[in-house]
Amino acid sequence: MRIAFYAPLKPPTHATPSGDRRVAGLLLDALERVADKVELVSTFRSFDGDGDAARQEALRRQGERLARRMIEQWRASRHTRPDVWFTYHVYYKAPDWLGPTVSEALGIPYVIAEASYAQKRAAGPWAIGHEAAADAIGRARLVIAPSRDDLAGLEEVVPKARLVYLPPFLDMTPYQAAARERAAHRADLAKSHGLDAAAPWIVVAAMMRAGDKLASYRALGAALSELNDVQWELLVAGDGAARDEVRAALPRRSAFLGALGTRELAELYAAGDVYAWPAVNEAYGMSMLEAQAAGMPVVSVAKRGVPDVVVHGRTGLLAKEEISALLRELLLDGERRKLLGRNAATFIAAERSLEAAAGRLKSLLAAL
């Protein structure tokens, strides 16, 4: 099986780290385990973040030209043509101008992993992108949803029989390796940043940008302001244009570690005691999945796709709105933190691993 892979919002080769780039890379890893060849066929970005109709129209024309070129190339060289087109993340700000057209011309199945649809966008500034996203979703032979929160909207444009729930997943290898050296990583971080190794460590890892991320950081700062009577240290991994606003929102005693690579992040997670993130408008949150893989429980909110990655009472605690009360509970109960952390690592290894996802994808694509 040959798979053409495409991510209209942000390709996995994009220079800027993000959860979206991370998920695209994980999907590629999973697909490479089940296909003879997986090719990233385009880095064309259809993203319009401003609701600019002229830009959306220009992107549409560019996408149509690229699609025609692909069709001509594959028709001229049939031995390299794909058997399946697989697009990651389609929504009104980043529609797929390539996959549906190419798939139809070549007579191959068109698959989407992660899509969202909301009728309220039909008459707004992203009307062109909204219509294109709805068209792509409706033409897909299979739509794979990582969050149950998206299913209701998707059912408005695609039959239930073509919808499949496949929760977020990751490669456990770096997190399991880091967890085995927890004591050493904790000692190194304590020495490097002047931290109290005897106090509970709260960890957060997120890009520092305006919008929902900054709103989450501010909500975290507000929650921590309610816990001044409790002992804790805060370690923050991440960077971005809103770094000054983030620093202003969080306590002065915070340790800011900057942007970290996968190995360094895994070591940070393994060294911590509880991952805390208010997840304002978060689709599901890959960092919370990663933290649990390293054996750290999560405190967050029971909104959108967060319950797809954190199991309340089993791998962490989920609040309805504000997280300070639940965070206080875990900061004061070391034994419960350890139990939830062990459960979290077991949960990710058994139910959210790369191997499990690859097996499911193999079955889904074979059925096409």
- Burial string for 267-287 (b: 16+ CB within 10 Å, else e) reads bbbbbbbbbbbbbbebbbbbb
| Least confident range of 15-24, 50-59, 273-282 | 15-24
Are the beta carbons of 264 and 249 closer than 8 angstroms? no
Residues 35 and 141 placed together within one structural domain of the fold? yes
Residues 207 and 78 placed together within one structural domain of the fold? no
Residues 49 and 196 placed together within one structural domain of the fold? no
Torsion of CA 78, 79, 84, 87, to 10 degrees: -80
Evaluate the CA torsion angle 247, 252, 258, 262 in order and state its sign. Answer: negative
- Burial string for 165-195 (b: 16+ CB within 10 Å, else e) reads ebbbbbbbebbbebbeebeebbeebbeeeeb
| Calpha distance 44→9 (Å, rounded) | 9
Residues 217 and 236 placed together within one structural domain of the fold? yes
User: What is the residue range of 80's domain?
Assistant: 2-169+353-366
Q: How many domains does the chain have?
A: 2
Residues 88 and 207 placed together within one structural domain of the fold? no
Q: Is 258 exposed, middle or buried (0-12, 13-18, 19+ CB in 10 A)?
A: exposed
- What confidence tens digit (pLDDT) does each residue in 298-355 have? 999 999 989 999 999 999 999 999 999 999 999 999 999 999 999 999 999 999 999 9
Location of structure tokens 């059925």: 367
The pTM for the full model equals 0.87
Torsion of CA 32, 364, 160, 71, to 10 degrees: 60
- What confidence tens digit (pLDDT) does each residue in 62-78 have? 999 999 999 999 999 87
Are the beta carbons of 208 and 239 closer than 8 angstroms? yes
| Calpha distance 190→188 (Å, rounded) | 6
| Calpha distance 119→130 (Å, rounded) | 8
Residues 161 and 204 placed together within one structural domain of the fold? no
343, 260, 344: which is closest to 22 by C-alpha?
260
Residues 297 and 228 placed together within one structural domain of the fold? yes
Q: What percent of the chain has pLDDT over 70?
A: 100
| Calpha distance 223→220 (Å, rounded) | 5
Residues 198 and 129 placed together within one structural domain of the fold? no
Residues 182 and 202 placed together within one structural domain of the fold? yes
Residues 144 and 249 placed together within one structural domain of the fold? no
Residue 17 reports pLDDT greater than 80: no
Residues 78 and 127 placed together within one structural domain of the fold? yes
For residue 8, give the CATH number of its domain: 3.40.50.2000
Give pLDDT, residue 55.
Answer: 97
Residues 188 and 295 placed together within one structural domain of the fold? yes
